[in-house]
Amino acid sequence: MQEDHSRGEKNWVLGVAALASFMVALDTMVLTSALATIRTEFNAPMETLQWTVNAYNLSFAVLLLTGAALGDRFGRRRMFAVGIALFVLASIGCAVSGSIVWLIAARAAQGAAAALVMPLAMALLSGAFPREERARALGIFSGVTGFALIAGPAAGGALTEGFGWQWIFWINVPIGGAALLMIATRLRESFGPKAGLDFAGLVLIAAAAFALVWGLLRGNGAGWTSIEVLAALFCGLVLAAAFIGWELRASAPMVPMRLFRAQVFSSGILASFLFYAAMYGVLFLLPQLLQNALGNTPLGAGLRLLPWTATLFVTAPVAGALVNKVGERALVVTGLLMQAIGLGWIAFVVAPGISYAALVAPLILAGVGVSMAMPAVQNAVLSSVAVAEMGKASGIFNMARFLGGVFGVALLVATFSARSPGNSPAAFTAGFAEAMTMAAILSLGGTIAGWWLPARRRMVVAPTPESA
């Protein structure tokens, strides 16, 4: 049941949840502006470098639901603190890495720790705020999270140029320490339904995601009709089907399939998967366009993302406050259509020698659009389940979000590589244009999924085990 919290308690929950989310979201893409420096230092090929991003996102995505279950069983506050502490330790491991393999392993550990932090931050937040206040709180939370995500390349560029790429990770130590202090002194403990841990489901979804991503990343290098790629994609699909089959009959499933009987829940998850796929893929490639084709430094490239950053930071809280008035459908459909137009606009105008000024308007359009969609989709998903299942729902939402990110990076890199045979500005912009077109298509898919969200705010609760 929903617990009563004073205004001060709610503010502390929102503050610590946003701070922890900022730290975790920052590290999803903070390496982007530093990849060239790391590649030179470790003499690593591009295919290996991709795993410094994908190792984090993949371990994050597949372990999220286990993190939510551990919080429900052993205490959300307690496991939230454990996750932050482990994240800080893994960040130190990244900072002292002596090889690319060590860095990738430490990034995977960061992702595993983040899998405890992110769903429990949302569960604590949703448990503290009643339904009528939750949309505004999620809007603020989404604004901070979105700002960290977009600011990652800028922060990474500044730290790399000023202090060295290792400081991308050292900065997490004081942030994590402050969050742990706030948790110890200001948050109360809460629990969810105590259910068994679904280790078989965890193995199946992890293997399925890895196989599908491997197939996408190796498609251009090994050939799309090669045995390696076809086997990886086939195994991924078979394992995904096996995961669904297992979850339908498991006594304590990590993903209760009955939740998907609610139209709002299903469409919200699908829309978030698609638009996060587009956004993460663009975030991976856009800073490289600004450096490789436009000749900017890492810091200069990061600063030129500020039109996108500013719109996310300003628009998301406003959109969160509007959800109860206009409903999720209007915000998601309009927002993702704006993102699709913005990305398609970039694909149309990008060319060797293009001026940065030509990118500002489409960046603002896409940024405002995705900022409208973020809090609306989160609110739709969490409001479609009972309070007792919000931890599980937030885990599923975040799993879809980061699996979408992994899929988007892999798909857009594959699209880019297929049309970019060399390192010249002309080759780079040709591949980039194709990748932006693919991102626009993904955004349009999210627009279609958004049509099944509520037109006005209403209570839609997914079936419970007793009613199923």
Question: pLDDT (tens digit, 9 = 90+) per residue, 419-436?
Answer: 776 667 888 899 999 999
The Cβ-side half-sphere exposure at 143, using a 13 Å CA radius, reads 19
Q: Does 403 lie in the same domain as 361?
A: yes
The answer on 417 and 288 residing in a single domain is yes
Same domain, 227 and 375: no
Q: What is the mean pLDDT of residues 240-254?
A: 90
The percentage of residues in the chain with a pLDDT greater than 90, rounded to a whole number, is: 34
257 and 156, same domain (yes or no)? yes
pLDDT tens digits, residue range 314-357?
787 788 788 878 889 999 999 999 999 999 999 999 998 899 99
Give the separation between CA 371 and CA 369, rounded to whole angstroms: 5
CA proximity to 291, closest of 95, 37, 48: 37
Give me the mean pLDDT over the 153-181 stretch.
Answer: 90
What would the pLDDT profile of 22-34 be if each residue is shown by its tens digit? 898 888 778 877 8
- The predicted pLDDT at position 233 comes to 94
Q: Which amino acid is at 404?
A: G
Residues 284 and 431 occupy one common structural domain: yes
- Residue 44 φ then ψ, to 5°: -105, 140
Over 60: is that where the pLDDT of 172 sits? Answer: yes
Whether residue 102 is found in the same domain as residue 214: no
Instruction: Render pLDDT for 114-158 as a digit per residue (tens, 0 to 9).
Output: 988 988 887 788 777 777 777 778 778 877 877 787 778 788 888
Report yes or no on 460 lying in a domain.
no
Q: CA angle 306-114-161, nearest 5°?
A: 40
The domain total for the chain is 2
Residues 388 and 244 in one domain: no
Tell whether 135 is covered by a domain.
yes
pTM of the model: 0.81
Give the domain extent around 17. 7-198+252-450
The pLDDT tens digits of the residues spanning 46-85 come to 667 778 888 888 888 888 778 777 887 888 888 999 999 9
